[in-house]
Every structure is written in C-alpha cells, then in structure tokens.
Structure 1
Amino acid sequence: MYECELRESVERIFFKLAKKNPKQLEAVYKKIEEVCANPDHYKNLRKPLQHLKRVHIDKSFVLVFLVDNDLEKVIIEDYDHHDKIYL
C-alpha cells in the first residue's frame, strides 16, 4: 500500500466540500483509499500531463494524482468537475 499525500490546494477544496456536500467527500476519501491500495490500476493522462493519472468520482468529477514509485507515495494533485479539471 502506498502512502497518500494531499497538496495544500486540494486540502482547501476538501475543506469547502465538507461543508457543501459531506457525502461526496466521503466518496472521494473512499476512492483515495482505493487509489493508494493499487495506483497502477488507473489511467494515465496524455501529454502534457503524462506524469499524472486520473480517476472519475460520481460520474462528473475527476481526481488527478501523481504516483512516485521510488518513495511508494501517491500525491493527490487536483479535484474538480471534469469540464474544468484539464484547463
């Protein structure tokens, strides 16, 4: 199992989400646990974001993360609606 780390910007997003929609935040944390258990299962992004991977949550939202195999660490980079995440 990989260690999980959140960027400061993602922590702020999750703090706001906890107030607005705690049920969705629970789904996000469950998905983060799955990602940390097996990060190679998820899809790589294309250039220029080829070093990142993504996973969909609740059909409309995307969690973008980086996998560092040397340190066995998953770094959560961003979380947003799929129309806005790649801009």
Structure 2
Amino acid sequence: MTFHIVVSDELKKTLTVLKRKDQNMFHAVEKKMLQIASSDSLVIHHFKNLRSPLSDFKRVHLGSFVLLFRIEGNIIIFETFEHHDLIYKKAPSGKF
C-alpha cells in the first residue's frame, strides 16, 4: 500500500530554501519522504511516535534535523523540518 503525500506550506517554504542552500540535505529529505510514502502500513509504524502535545506526529531524523509527519488514513502529511533543538520548542502550542 502506498500513501499519498501532502506537504504543509511551512515545509514547502523550508524545502525551497533548503534546495537553494543545501542540495545534499534537500535530496536526503526528498528521498526519505518518498521512502516513507512507499512503505506499507505495517512498516510505517516503525517510525517514532512523539509524546503529547505532539502525539499525532511521527518523526524521522536526518542528521541533526528532524522531519515531522502524521498519518490520516492513506495520506501522509509532512509538517515541518527543523533542527532537533528547535523543533521541540514548538511543542507547547502543538501547531506548526
């Protein structure tokens, strides 16, 4: 089962900047997103769930950066990609 990919506006902006500044990281993120989307429903649960208030999200590390995503049915919504130290500071609001 493959999933459909939805990318948030925030992540689109981040990827645009990343493509210009760091091509290698951009391609790593792109490759990881495609790998996640092509996973079956059992493998997708391999990715780390986060704690409250981000309990709806899963994460995957790419170096010292984190890509957050959530699953709704057969749709994967990629939310944000930031440095590990910064991404969890957004946690109290729970919104990106």
Aligned-residue offset at 1:15: 0.3
Structure with greater strand share of residues = 1
Distance 1:45 1:37 in 2: 22
Counterpart selection for 2:47 from 27, 42, 45: 42
> In 1, Cα distance between the equivalents of 2:35 and 2:60?
10
Query: Does residue 1:31 correspond to 2:35, yes or no?
Result: no
Which runs of 5 or more residues in structure 2 are unaligned? 90-96
> SS where residue 83 of structure 1 aligns?
helix
TM-superposed deviation, 1:35 = 1.1
Of all paired residues, the percent bearing the same amino acid is 35
Counterpart amino acid of 1:6? Answer: V
Matches within 5 A, 1:38-77: 38=39, 39-57=44-62, 59-69=63-73, 72-77=74-79
Match of 2:23 in 1: 22
Q: What whole-Å deviation, never above 9, does each CA across 1:17-61 have from its counterpart, x for those lacking one?
A: 01100111000000001111223221100111111000001x200
TM-score normalised according to structure 2 size: 0.84
RMSD over equivalenced CA pairs, Å: 0.8
Q: In structure 2, what is the Cα distance between the partners aligned to 1:24 and 1:52?
A: 22
Distance in 1 between the 2:29 and 2:45 partners? 18
Name the CA distance, whole Å, in 2 between partners of 1:23 and 1:43. 24
Shift of 1:2: 0.3
> Which of 71, 83, 86 is the aligned partner of 2:85?
83
TM score, norm. by length of structure 1: 0.92
Paired letter, 1:16: V
